[in-house]
Amino acid sequence: MGLYDMARRVNAVRKAYLKKQAGKVLSPVRRIERVFPPKSGRYVAMTFDDGPDALTVEGRDRGLTDIILEELSKYDAHVTFDVIGTTDGNYPDEKGADGTFMWSGNAFDHYPCFGMDKLGGAMNRPELIGRILEAGHEISNHGTTHTLFGKMRAVYGARHHLETLSQVVKELQGLHQYMLQEFGYRMRLGRPAHYIDKIPDGSSAYDAYRVMGYNYMAASFDGAGWQPLPSYSEEVSAMVEPMRKALREDPECLNGRIIFQKDGCNMARRTPIADALPQQLQILAEYGYKVISVSDLLDMSPFEDLSPDAPQMAAIKDLLGREHTVGYKNNTYAPDRPITTDEIYIMLAKPEVLRAERPMGPRELCAAAMKNVGLDITGTSGNELLAVLDRAGAGTDALRLSLRDKRAVTRLEAAPFIASLSRALES
Ligand SMILES: [Zn+2]
């Protein structure tokens, strides 16, 4: 086994471990990679990073976002545009080398290209944002300036980065406020520039998204629009063929997944997405896929490990709709796990309490939630809890039964009880 393979395997083990750890504490911010495949049909979400972009595509006199919008409309696809505010404040800088990770600048990223920043970003291209919204697409927050949340030594060692949670929150709020004020549009999802999560002051992207009331938008299938190859046509086919092959092997494989795409240049400063997207959309249509936004996918199926057809789903969606914290950081729900008192507090807590602008570990999260709920059930026996339920008019048959049998109540069984109890406490 070569060194590269070994490093890759070690990294895969590390990632699996981290993902498992992330499934232990309820989190107001869930990292969404994929969801439990809907049974009602085949659905895949698409996300387009780094736009909007008016950079003219070679051989055509139109901008890239314009071309993408037209292709999507042919399939009635409503997707997620993961936009930036503007990168034209990212000077002084030096131009990076094409074909490398620094293609768009040395100390900062410059979208769409070095020296052409006025062609890109929501704040420079409000007309494109208007068209994206008018066509029924979703917009998510990829940062006001696409500045890294923290250090990344491996690839972007020379990059300027932010130092503190409040700087990162400010970086997100710039674009958030712009979208609210100019378009009356509230964003609900964010993806960090280059997926860098660790903020040097010890906090993380999860803290920043918690403050913003966002979920963390990841992806689970790479559209490969970033990849530089010797020629444009090779780049286009590198974006199309892996998808064709994956679907040929397993037509279900993209159901419930999120595809990563670029509304911008690849590292060779070309835009193969312009020619790859029509082919990708054609293939997806052949396999019966409907291409949708991440929020639409989450509305359909919120968690990775819980079927959207579970009878308790209405209660879970009720809680989610009121922005309560119900799932784990890795977007699992763990339906069969016994629920703990701490978890009941966190699920009952009003969302704004968990949005304080300071880093919060699991213990603080629970303490803040408990203080907020105004109901002390610590150490309550089954019978006492039943009395609480009766007073709140919030009992459910499954819960009553398990309290009487003194068996552990699962997280799934508890959901309807928590949903009605939270409504009773809030009224
Ligand atoms: Zn980006």
Max Cα-Cα span within the chain? 74
Q: How many residues does the chain have?
A: 427
CA 336 to centroid of ligand 1, rounded, Å:
37
CA 391 to centroid of ligand 1, rounded, Å:
51
Report the sign of the C-alpha dihedral through residues 313, 318, 321, 322, in that order: negative
CA 174 to centroid of ligand 1, rounded, Å:
16
Give start and end residues of each alpha helix (H) in 191-292.
205-212, 232-249, 273-286
- C-alpha to C-alpha distance for 354 and 359, rounded to whole angstroms: 10
pLDDT at 252: 98
With a CB cutoff of 8 Å and minimum separation 6, the contacts of 145 are: 84, 85, 86, 87, 89, 90, 108, 171, 174
What do you get for the CA distance between the two ends of the chain, in Å?
62
CA 32 to centroid of ligand 1, rounded, Å:
17
CA 49 to centroid of ligand 1, rounded, Å:
6
Return the CATH fold of 25-297.
TIM Barrel (3.20.20)
Scan for tokens 């409504």, then name that residue: 423
Question: Which residues, by Cβ under 5 Å, contact ligand 1, an ion?
Answer: 49-50
Scan for tokens 């970086």, then name that residue: 171
Report the sign of the C-alpha dihedral through residues 88, 121, 281, 275, in that order: negative
With a CB cutoff of 8 Å and minimum separation 6, the contacts of 252 are: 37, 42
Number of other residues whose CB lies within 10 A of the CB of residue 360: 21
Q: Three-class SS of residue 148?
A: strand
CATH 3.20.20.370 intervals, the chain: 25-297
CA 148 to centroid of ligand 1, rounded, Å:
10
How do the pLDDT tens digits run along the chain, 427 residues long? 576 777 777 778 777 777 777 667 799 999 999 999 999 999 999 999 999 999 988 888 899 999 999 999 999 999 999 999 999 999 989 998 888 888 889 999 999 889 999 999 999 999 999 999 999 999 999 999 999 999 987 777 788 999 999 999 999 999 999 999 999 999 999 999 999 999 999 999 999 999 999 999 999 999 999 999 999 999 999 999 999 999 999 999 999 999 999 999 999 999 999 999 999 999 999 999 999 999 999 999 999 999 999 999 999 999 999 999 999 999 999 999 988 888 888 998 988 888 888 888 778 888 888 888 777 776 666 666 666 666 666 556 666 666 666 677 889 988 988 898 888 777 7
Tens-digit pLDDT profile for residues 107-129: 999 998 899 999 999 999 999 99
- C-alpha to C-alpha distance for 37 and 306, rounded to whole angstroms: 9
CA 147 to centroid of ligand 1, rounded, Å:
9
- C-alpha to C-alpha distance for 185 and 302, rounded to whole angstroms: 22
Q: Three-class SS of residue 90?
A: coil
Do strands 138-141 and 80-83 pair parallel, antiparallel, or not at all (unpaired)? Answer: parallel
Give start and end residues of each alpha helix (H) in 109-184.
126-134, 165-183
Q: What is the Cβ-side half-sphere exposure of residue 427, based on CA atoms within 13 angstroms?
A: 9
* Burial profile 380-413: b = 16 or more Cβ within 10 angstroms, e = fewer: eeeeebbebbeebebbbebbbebbeeeeebbbbb
Residue from 284, 283, 264 nearest 274 by CA: 264
Number of other residues whose CB lies within 10 A of the CB of residue 202: 10
- C-alpha to C-alpha distance for 391 and 253, rounded to whole angstroms: 47
Residue from 31, 20, 27 nearest 369 by CA: 27
pLDDT at 386: 63
* CA 398 to chain CA centroid, nearest Å: 33
CA 326 to centroid of ligand 1, rounded, Å:
29
Q: What is the CA radius of gyration of the chain?
A: 23
Helices 341-348 and 362-373: crossing angle in degrees, nearest 10, is 70
Helices 411-426 and 382-392: crossing angle in degrees, nearest 10, is 40
- C-alpha to C-alpha distance for 98 and 267, rounded to whole angstroms: 6
Return the HEC string of 103-122: CCCCCCCCCCCCCCHHHECC
CA 50 to centroid of ligand 1, rounded, Å:
5
